Amino acid sequence: MKIVSTERSQVLAARIAEKMRVPLVYTKFSRFPDGELYLRTGDLDRETLIVGSIVDSDALVQVLLAVDACEGSETTLVLPYLGYARQDKRFNPGEPISARAVAQALSRGVERVFVVNIHDPKVLGYFTVPAENISIASAIGGYVGSLNLKDPLILAPDEGAIDFAGDVAAVGGWESDHLQKTRISGEEVRMKPKHLDACNREVVIVDDIIATGGTLATAAEMLHRQGAASVHAACVHGVLTDGAYARLRAAGIASVVSSDTYENASSFVSAAGAIVDALGRC
Ligand code: R5P
């Protein structure tokens, strides 16, 4: 087996290759003069693992091109971050089900697909090949442990993240709880006051995605008003749009960490171990 990565998943692909002790193929990425994407992989093996997060439309095209370049090799596709997954139904007439459109396109030419902490596992059903979700709650829990906080409270910002918070908390035998969230608009979120004994507690808010940071910034401000000793944030996919990192720090969040499913300067947690474990099970 050899591993091919797209441009935005090079670090995670290298970590997976190192753990699996298989070669990482050098792939050259460039553009045609009209701006169209080009790539060229090196020599392939009988089996190929492609690692490529769908962080934007160019990344989606790179995965499609990489799969085509690997024609003739049995290909497993790892999509650490699956962009377009949140438009998973038709909210208004005339809209696409973007998650379905992308999943179906990404199923072509591959044997199986793995994703990491997908927002809604229902999206897995849109792939036309076997698709599996991998959780990196253990890795996030390991990071929380490394912070050496005193009896941390692991907090989900909404009901959708309750199980994830529980899995993170289980790593250290910590308590977990959740807040209630009301989304006012695409960027604005309001937390309903809910009784939480956060006073004097070191709180770690955990979530699948930080996009604009609105959800966590609002939660942090509320927790500070309740007298939390400190507030930290740990998420799987650090999309961090529109100055989200600074927004979170300005909201008094002492540390912000994400994983290498979406590579950026806050990606201190690696999904490589969980991905390699899942690959070993199939
Ligand atoms: C929503 O249900 C998700 O789990 C995240 O909480 C949400 O996508 C975060 O978005 P933002 O950072 O823009 O508030």
pLDDT one-digit tens code per residue, 28-62? 999 999 999 999 999 899 999 999 999 999 999 99
Of the CA atoms within 13 Å of residue 59, those in its CB half-sphere come to 22
DSSP for 182-234 reads EE-SSS-EEEEP-----TT-EEEEEEEEESSSHHHHHHHHHHHHTT-SEEEEE
Q: What is residue 177's predicted lDDT score, i.e. its pLDDT?
A: 93
Q: Which residues are catalytic?
A: 181
120 lines ligand 1 (CB under 6 A): no
* 182 has pLDDT over 90: no
Taking residue 56's Cβ as centre, other Cβ atoms within 10 Å add up to 13
Q: Which two tokens stand for residue 26?
A: 């050098």
Ligand 1 centre distance from Cα of residue 211 (Å): 6
Q: What is residue 194's predicted lDDT score, i.e. its pLDDT?
A: 64
Mean predicted confidence (pLDDT) in 132-161: 95
212 lines ligand 1 (CB under 6 A): yes
Q: Which residue has the tokens 């091919």?
A: 4
Q: What is residue 190's predicted lDDT score, i.e. its pLDDT?
A: 61
pLDDT digits (tens, 9 = 90+) for 160-172: 899 999 999 999 9
For each of the domains in the chain, give its residue range(s) and CATH number, in order of start.
2-135+271-281 (3.40.50.2020), 137-260 (3.40.50.2020)
Q: What is residue 86's predicted lDDT score, i.e. its pLDDT?
A: 92
39 lines ligand 1 (CB under 6 A): no
Mean predicted confidence (pLDDT) in 54-81: 98
Substitution candidate for ligand 1 out of 120, 215, 222, 248 with most atoms within 8 A of CB: 215
Q: What is residue 77's predicted lDDT score, i.e. its pLDDT?
A: 98
Ligand 1 centre distance from Cα of residue 187 (Å): 9
Mean predicted confidence (pLDDT) in 233-257: 97
Residue of 14 and 192 predicted with greater confidence:
14
Look at ligand 1, atom 7, and give the residue with the nearest C-alpha.
Answer: 209
Residue-wise burial string across 131-155, b where 16 or more C-beta atoms lie within 10 A, e elsewhere: bbbbbbbebbbbbbeeeebeebbbb
* 230 has pLDDT over 60: yes
Among 131-135, 195-199, 245-249, which is the least confidently predicted range? 195-199
Closest CA to 78 of 279, 243, 281: 279
Q: What average pLDDT does the structure give for the chain?
A: 94
Of the CA atoms within 13 Å of residue 70, those in its CB half-sphere come to 31
* 192 has pLDDT over 60: no
CA 212 to ligand 1: nearest atom: 13
Q: What is residue 185's predicted lDDT score, i.e. its pLDDT?
A: 74
Substitution candidate for ligand 1 out of 209, 216, 237, 247 with most atoms within 8 A of CB: 209
Sheet with strand 2-5: strands edge to edge: 2-5, 47-51, 74-79, 112-116, 131-134
Among 32-46, 84-98, 192-206, 228-242, which is the least confidently predicted range? 192-206
Mean predicted confidence (pLDDT) in 195-223: 90
Q: What is residue 195's predicted lDDT score, i.e. its pLDDT?
A: 59
Residue of 194 and 86 predicted with greater confidence:
86
Mean predicted confidence (pLDDT) in 177-198: 70
* 193 has pLDDT over 70: no
207 lines ligand 1 (CB under 6 A): yes
Among 131-135, 192-196, 221-225, 226-230, which is the least confidently predicted range? 192-196
Q: What is residue 215's predicted lDDT score, i.e. its pLDDT?
A: 87
Taking residue 165's Cβ as centre, other Cβ atoms within 10 Å add up to 25
